[in-house]
Amino acid sequence: MKHMKPKVKIIFPGYESAENNGRSCSNVVLIRTDDRNIIVDPGTLPSQEILIEKLKQEKLSVADIDIVFLTHSHIDHTRNVGMFAIAKVLDFWGWWDGDLSSEYQNSDLEYIILYHTPGHSYDGVTLLVDSEDGKIAICGDVFWKKDYPKKDPFATDLKALKKSRKKVLKMADFVIPGHGEMFSTK
Ligand SMILES: [Zn+2]
């Protein structure tokens, strides 16, 4: 039997330093499938208690998280990965199970496809989730927010970033950017 399509939710809304006195934290996203709970980018957060509380509101604890996905290696997205000591980590390099890494296959997770989307950073990865609300691209800082920034001051490769942005907009119905609200591509 096919599983139900995943549910996707921003459980902690991100912000970026220019608008927030030098403080920066990514969106923290929860993907729930029939049999797995996935956190995308556990962020910096003023305190880890906040994330524990947000999970509680979803009737989850830290131990219920099976997978932590990192969109790229910038610390405002990754700092709290250590909170999830028993979760597998998925990033640019593939799976991490403790200290053991292995390649990711797109058949590993039903309804979820991983795309390399470099430009903001060389290791940028986007998850395309075929969710119950449509195709949602969780793209890290390919976009910080809708149409923003026009010219990414931290981009390692602006040309590659332009290509990645185009790709993300084309494949998704909705985009969850690195730091702002979800937006529609239509
Ligand atoms: Zn970044």
Distance 76 CA to ligand 1 centre (A): 7
Task: Specify the pTM.
Answer: 0.96
Distance 85 CA to ligand 1 centre (A): 23
Domain locations in the chain as residue ranges: 7-184
Query: What average pLDDT does this structure show over 3-10?
Result: 95
Residue 118 has a CB neighbour count (10 Å cut-off) of: 19
Per-residue pLDDT of 75-89, as tens digits, reads 999 999 999 999 999
Q: How far apart are CA 85 and CA 87, in angstroms?
A: 6
pLDDT of res. 19: 81
Distance 41 CA to ligand 1 centre (A): 11
Scanning the structure block, which residue is given the tokens 């529609």?
184
Q: How far apart are CA 4 and CA 80, in angstroms?
A: 29
pLDDT of res. 31: 98
Given a cut of 80, is residue 2 above it in pLDDT? Answer: no
- Longest C-alpha distance within the chain, in Å? 50
Domain 7-184 classified CATH 3.30.2400.10? no
Distance 72 CA to ligand 1 centre (A): 7
Please name the residues in contact with 140: beta carbons below 8 A apart, sequence gap of 6 or more: 26, 41, 71, 72, 77, 117, 120, 124, 125, 126, 178
In sequence order, the β-bridge partners of residue 27 are none
pLDDT of res. 1: 61
Instruction: Residue 171: name the closest of 119, 141, 132, 126 by CA.
Output: 126
Distance 182 CA to ligand 1 centre (A): 17
pLDDT of res. 43: 98
pLDDT of res. 20: 84
Per-residue pLDDT of 42-70, as tens digits, reads 999 999 999 999 999 999 999 999 999 99
Distance 93 CA to ligand 1 centre (A): 17
Distance 142 CA to ligand 1 centre (A): 8
Distance 147 CA to ligand 1 centre (A): 15
Q: How far apart are CA 26 and CA 144, in angstroms?
A: 9
pLDDT of res. 17: 87
What percent of the chain stands above pLDDT 90?
Answer: 94
